[in-house]
A and B are shown apart, each in its own frame.
Chain A
Amino acid sequence: MYGLINQGIEDLIIENHGEEIWQQIKTSASVNVENFVGMNSYPDDDTYKLVKAASQILNATQDQLFEAFGEFWILYTAKKGYGSLLDMVGNNFVEFLQNINQLHGHIQAMMPELKPPKFWCSDIKNNSLRFHYQSDRPGLSHLVIGLIRGVGKKFDIAVEIEQKKSKTSENDHDEFFVKY
């Protein structure tokens, strides 16, 4: 994953628990990176190890942490200067969710090693839709839940998310029912 993701996790931990806890998490995770660089690519394992160590130290489940991080992500990328770009993604909640893939397309032009997930919407109705997520990376469905909640926050919309399908040998992707 790109360093931007790990920077986001770092920022979330420090903002909520302080620098000392972050250093403890890094030490516990045996991740010997002094400072993550946003445009550098790091092993996916580093990210998983950090979240695992954080869950042990903060006494929270990894799912809870991924969800918190997903929600924080929109806020964090805006803070890192990508706010205007995010603003261009869509005029509203649904449009934004629909255009995330397009955004990833542009980002991939910048970050050749990026392996972005695929997102698409279906059954779009006035107050609900089905959101589909497909990725090679395991265990990140709660990050997507957090992400949807974060997009809702961006547009001041309260959302209810229910995971309808999980990626299994039969399903090639996760599916969420989103009510707004």
Chain B
Amino acid sequence: MDSKTKYTIGLDLEEFSTVFPFHIIFGENLEVYQVGPSSREIFEIGNGSKINEFFHIKYPDLPFSVPEILNHSKSYFILESIKLPINLRGQMLRLKKENLVAFIGSPFSSNLENFNKSGLKLSHFATHEPIIDYLLLLQTQKTSLDDAKLLSEKILIKNKSLKKTKDELEKHTQNLEEIVCSRTKELETEKNKAETANRAKSEFLSKMSHELRTPLSSIMGFTQLMLHSKKNPLTEPQKNDIRQILHSSQHLLELINDILDLSQIEKGKLSVFMEPVSLHDLYTEILGLVKPIADKAGILLIDEITTNNGVYVVADRIRLKQILLNFLTNGIKYNKPKGWISAFSEILENGKLRINIVDTGKGIAEKNLKNLFNPFDRLGEQFSSIQGTGIGLALAKQLITLMNGEIGVTSNLAEGSRFYVDLEIDSNATAKVFSNTPRAVELPKHKMEGKKKVLCIEDNPRNLKLVERILSEHENLQLLSAPDGEIGLDIARSHQPELILMDINLPGIDGYETFQQLKKFEETKKIPVVAISANAREEDIQRALDDGFQDYLTKPIKIETLLNTVKKYLEPQ
């Protein structure tokens, strides 16, 4: 097929003008012979006018002459409008037959504004013309760039804002840290102050208690002496009065002991001695103490604890006894007339044993329950006739905590209360009875022959006098005394007594040091030494026994205990 002939588009003038609306055909002398409709309208070129009156050839660099144009017929041509701010771009085509030159092209500008200034509309362009798309593309890219700039500015603003927020946050954090640091320091200072104050309070309570115990020891001791004196026996009414003094002193002593215990706990100095405790044995002992009081008050004691023999809990025996006694005496004190107290135990799901003491008292209001274990809070009973300090339950809670146990209460007003303690069960323990009897030592066995010498090293003259009075009941005893450790040591070495009773808190060298000195000398090292002290704490007793003291008696001295102890070492079985 001959493509040249078959596919040449044979267009008529109208079709040609539609396809090339900006065409200009001119002759040798540059006279215009034909103009496309758009060129005619925009550039106002008419037939017969000269093309060079409307355009310069901007590219290639040529004068407007047909021979020159034809010499560059294959070149790209830009015709620059003389009147309008637009160019025509296109190509020159020689029409051989007519000996004319045809410019085929269209307006071009990189700016749509120039098209508008020239009065160009979309309709001026041939449909196939890409210039509009090109300009639209440019505008679109420009718009996209503007969008990007806007986004970038927004991001920048946001970043600045974020940075500002971050800086402020850091500043706030720093301030907060400083505030926290300063507050922590303040709190620490306050805490230290509070702790110091609390320690001072505990120390004060401890010292006061100790100081109170010493004169109380004398009061109780001499009272007992008066009661038991065979040399100067009292009349029965006098004995009754003395018993009242003794009873009140005993009560006072218990209070002092409670305060001392509480202060020791707060100082962190009270420790418990955990051991398997037979609940049966313990409660039997407690019942023996409480029953007379309950009977006197007309309160019935229902015991469901001692019915279960062989149950052991891990506890400090003495302290547990103290707690249960507290529950029971409270139950008696606050019970209704002809009420009852029931004691029973139960095994909890967590494996612990709960000891319950239930009373038929007036109960405790719910709002008061939370304060029940606070020290010195008697929940309004301070104005009642019932004696108490509000220490007992606080102490019980502290003690049970030390024993890894729990304490609690449930109560209904007008119905009564249930106090309980939860303790670990010692399932491996046997039924053996644990004794708190201090260990015995091997002593030379000899009968009391003639006067036996007992040396009492005691700085307090009243206590010394008391011991002297107690031992004077026995005529075969000779009491030697010394006011401090050094003198005591001298007397011991020179007289070699059969027994030494030694106060621990002595001026100069204390009881422990004196004891160590005694053990250094051949003549005194075998003499049994019994400590006598107002320090009634478990660890004080243990320390003395560990150091080698044969026995430990706590003040106030009980006549019977002292006599038995003396007898034990001077008249061994």
Interface residues of A (CB under 8 A from B): 3-4, 7, 34-35, 37-39, 80-82, 84-85, 87-91, 95, 99, 102-103, 106-107, 109-111
Contact = CB atoms under 8 A, between A and B. Distances in A.
Interface stretch (B138-146, B159-167, B364-372, B524-532): B138-146
Interface in B110-169: 111-113, 115-116, 120-123, 132-133, 135-137, 139-140, 142-144, 146-148, 150-151, 154
Interface range for B: 20 to 34
Contact of B115 (A3, A80, A82, A88): A88
Given A88-B120, A110-B133, A38 B147 contact: yes
B143 A38 contact: yes
Say what secondary structure dominates the interface of chain B.
helix
A85 B144 contact: no
A110 B142 CA distance: 13
A131 to B, nearest CB: 18
Given A35-B151, A106-B133, A85 B120 contact: no
Given A37-B147, A88-B112, A91-B121, A106 B140 contact: no
B144 A39 contact: yes
Given A7-B147, A84-B115, 15 more contacts: A35-B151, A38-B147, A80-B143, A84-B112, A84-B139, A85-B112, A87-B116, A88-B122, A90-B122, A99-B122, A106-B132, A106-B133, A109-B133, A110-B136, A110-B137
A103 B125 CA distance: 12
A153 to B, nearest CB: 19
B188 to A, nearest CB: 47
B302 to A, nearest CB: 72
Given A84-B116, A107-B136, A110-B137, A89 B122 contact: yes
B145 to A, nearest CB: 10
A50 B310 CA distance: 82
Identify the interface centre among B133, B135, B140: most chain A CB within 10 Å of its CB: B140
Nearest to B129: A106
Identify the interface centre among A35, A84, A95: most chain B CB within 10 Å of its CB: A84
Contacts of A90: 121-123
6 contacts: A84-B113, A85-B139, A88-B120, A99-B121, A109-B137, A110-B137
A151 B493 CA distance: 132
A64 B544 CA distance: 101
Contacts of A3: 147
Contacts of B139: 81-82, 84-85
B123 A95 contact: yes
B121 A39 contact: no
A178 to B, nearest CB: 20
A89 B132 CA distance: 11
Nearest to B117: A84
Interface of B: 111-113, 115-116, 120-123, 132-133, 135-137, 139-140, 142-144, 146-148, 150-151, 154
B137 A37 contact: no
A90 B132 CA distance: 14
Contacts of B113: 84
B571 to A, nearest CB: 100
A74 to B, nearest CB: 16
Contacts of A91: 121
A68 B116 CA distance: 28
Given A87-B116, A107-B136, A110-B136, A102 B147 contact: no
A111 B139 CA distance: 12
Nearest to A102: B122
A35 B133 contact: no
Top 3 A-B pairs ranked by shortest CB distance?
A84-B112, A109-B133, A87-B116
A84 B143 CA distance: 13
Contacts of B122: 88-90, 99, 102-103, 106
A153 B318 CA distance: 105
A63 B160 CA distance: 40
Contacts of A39: 140, 143-144, 147
A88 to B, nearest CB: 5
Contact of B144 (A34, A37, A84, A89): A37
A36 to B, nearest CB: 8
B135 A85 contact: yes
Identify the interface centre among B115, B144, B147: most chain A CB within 10 Å of its CB: B147
B410 to A, nearest CB: 55
A112 B338 CA distance: 103
Contacts of A110: 133, 136-137, 140
Contacts of A81: 139, 142-143, 146
A14 B559 CA distance: 102
A114 to B, nearest CB: 11
Contacts of A85: 112, 132, 135-136, 139
Given A37-B144, A103-B122, A110-B133, A88 B116 contact: yes
Contacts of A82: 139, 143
A177 to B, nearest CB: 25
A38 B146 CA distance: 10
A81 B144 CA distance: 11
A101 to B, nearest CB: 11
Nearest to B139: A81
A56 to B, nearest CB: 26
A89 B123 CA distance: 8
A35 B150 contact: yes
A164 to B, nearest CB: 27
